[in-house]
């Protein structure tokens, strides 16, 4: 019964109508499942140094002369199986992507609600801070936060905390998007009758914000969040590519591309090409899903 209603829902209908979206959803699902199940799917645990064999380094993909079945997509300079490293790496990339989006979403939505609902000085201060931050590219802010954390922590502690620090720096660099979107919608909702009614019956501001306003401003936020997952993955990959992201012993997709980049001239193309392709597929499919969600939720386009 519920399934049937879901199937007939507007969203489901527009989903079925768009083959690109179906493919994108399938690819995203495959990436997420591959990442989640990597310990069971991957032939090797690339994060365990004892499992690596330097003598198996630089093996080409299985279908190229000299390749081996055991290393389907070849191996990298440390003898890590590329396929296994991709699966483990995607887990880190996706984990950081989702976690940082959640962080910036929570922070941005909350501050946006406050600014839009209360207005006045609070609004002015929050929005000026947002304006200032918007004038810097997100990657620069993430680099800055990561740099401060690096200087504050000893290198050893930093390596252990590399992933939380990355989540924090990417999350803090993107909250503005949500805050501004939510503030705009809240300004509109604030004057509506249901909010006034809630106020008249004496509900407290926080309850009004979370109980009444929030559900009505979440549509655009969800679209933004979907697209930002892709952006966050790209920022993480960029930071790791620049060598300030996750440590080389636990590579994410960006780290893998950086490592592989050194071997482009010497002909070991597979070390960088496969992680690069995986990154493109992952980000593209997440973005296509986001695009579809935006169109499907936009009443003007129906």
Q: Give the footprint of another protein on this chain (CB under 8 A).
A: 48-50, 52-55, 57-58, 77-79, 155-156, 159, 247-249, 261-268
Least Å distance, CB 275 to another protein, is: 15
Task: Give 81's strand partners.
Answer: 75
- Comparing CB distances to another protein, the nearer of 52 and 172 is 52
Q: Minimum Å distance from CB 246 to another protein?
A: 13
CB atoms under 10 Å from CB of 302, counted, come to: 9
Minimal distance in Å, beta carbon 243 to another protein?
8
Of 58 and 178, which has the nearer Cβ to another protein? Answer: 58
In the complex, the smallest distance separating the C-beta of residue 65 from another protein, rounded to whole angstroms, is 18
Q: How far is the CB of 264 from another protein (least distance, A)?
A: 7
Dihedral Cα 115, 121, 126, 131, nearest 10 deg: 110
Q: CB 166 → another protein: shortest distance, Å?
A: 18
3-state secondary structure the chain: CHHHHHHHCHHHHHHHHCHHHHHHHHHHHHHHHHHHCHHHHCCCCCCCHHHCCHHHCCCCCCCCCCCCCCCCCCECCCCCEHHHHHHHHHHHHHHHHHHHHHHHHHHHHHHHHHHHHHCHHHHHHHHHHHHHHHCCCHHHHHHHHHHHHHHHCCHHHHHHCHHHHHHHHHHHHHHHHHHHHHHHHHHHHHCCHHHHHHHHCCCCHHHHHHHHHHHHHHHHHHHHHHHHHHHHHHHHHHHHHCCCCCCCCCCCHHHHHHHHHCCCCCCCCHHHHHHHHHHHHHHHHHHHHHHHHHHHHCHHHC
Q: How far is the CB of 212 from another protein (least distance, A)?
A: 52
Q: Which is nearer to another protein, 10 or 262 (CB)?
A: 262
Of 163 and 179, CB closest to another protein: 163
- Residue closer to another protein, measured from CB, 248 or 284: 248
- Which CB atom, from 58 or from 117, has the smaller least distance to another protein? 58
Q: Which is nearer to another protein, 160 or 197 (CB)?
A: 160
């Amino acid at each position: 019964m519920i399934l049937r209603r879901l199937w007939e829902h507007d969203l489901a209908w527009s989903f079925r109508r768009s083959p690109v979206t179906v493919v994108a959803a399938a690819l995203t699902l495959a990436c997420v499942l591959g990442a989640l199940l990597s310990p069971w799917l991957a032939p090797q645990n690339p994060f365990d140094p004892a499992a690596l064999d330097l003598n198996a380094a630089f093996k080409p993909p299985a279908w190229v002369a000299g390749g081996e079945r055991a290393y389907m997509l070849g191996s990298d300079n440390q003898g890590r199986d590329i396929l296994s490293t991709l699966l483990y790496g995607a887990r880190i990339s996706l984990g950081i992507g989702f976690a940082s989006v959640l962080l910036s979403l929570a922070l941005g939505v909350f501050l946006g609600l406050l600014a839009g609902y209360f207005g006045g000085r609070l609004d002015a201060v929050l929005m000026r801070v947002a304006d200032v931050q918007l004038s810097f590219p997100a990657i620069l802010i993430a680099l800055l936060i990561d740099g401060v954390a690096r200087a504050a922590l000893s290198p050893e502690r930093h390596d252990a905390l590399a992933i939380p620090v990355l989540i924090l720096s990417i999350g803090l660099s993107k909250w503005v998007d949500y805050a501004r979107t939510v503030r705009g919608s809240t300004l509109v909702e604030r004057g509506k009758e249901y909010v006034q009614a809630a106020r008249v019956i004496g509900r407290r501001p926080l309850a009004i914000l979370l109980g009444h306003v929030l559900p009505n401003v979440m549509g655009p936020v969800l679209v933004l969040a979907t697209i930002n997952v892709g952006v966050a993955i790209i920022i993480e990959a960029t930071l790791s590519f620049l060598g300030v992201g996750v440590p080389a012993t636990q590579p994410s997709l960006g780290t893998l591309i950086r490592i592989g980049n050194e071997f482009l001239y010497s002909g070991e193309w597979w070390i960088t090409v496969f992680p690069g392709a995986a990154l493109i597929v992952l980000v593209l499919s997440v973005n296509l899903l986001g695009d579809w969600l935006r169109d499907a939720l936009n009443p003007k386009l129906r």
